[in-house]
Amino acid sequence: MIATYLIVKLALQAIVNEANRLGAEAETRERASYLKSRIAQLEMELATGAIDEKTYTAKASEILNELQPSPGGGIELGGGKSDA
């Protein structure tokens, strides 16, 4: 009885861990897509003259700062850590 309980508990924990991993991967992909769209918008604004080089550089720097490695080893993506 206890052995069955432990096996079921381990199996359920493995399912939860996999679901958490998949959720984190999806969040990372969504965040990367969002940052790419921000960069594309920024480049469009520069190309059309809506912003100057100085503004472009400052805003691009802000975007890049969101991708700085965190002290724990993952990549910091605007408030969340990914171990990717």
81-82 and 75-76 beta bridge pairing = antiparallel
Rounded to an integer, the average pLDDT of 58-84 is: 65
* CA 30 to each of CA 18, 57, 77, 78: distance values in angstroms, whole numbers, following the listed order: 18, 24, 10, 12
Q: What is the pLDDT of residue 71?
A: 59
Please state the domain extents for the chain: 2-66
Model confidence pLDDT, tens digit, residues 3-57: 898 999 999 999 999 999 999 999 989 988 888 999 999 999 999 999 999 999 9
Q: What is the pLDDT of residue 1?
A: 84
CB 65 within 8 A of CB 12: no
Q: Is the pLDDT of residue 78 over 80?
A: no
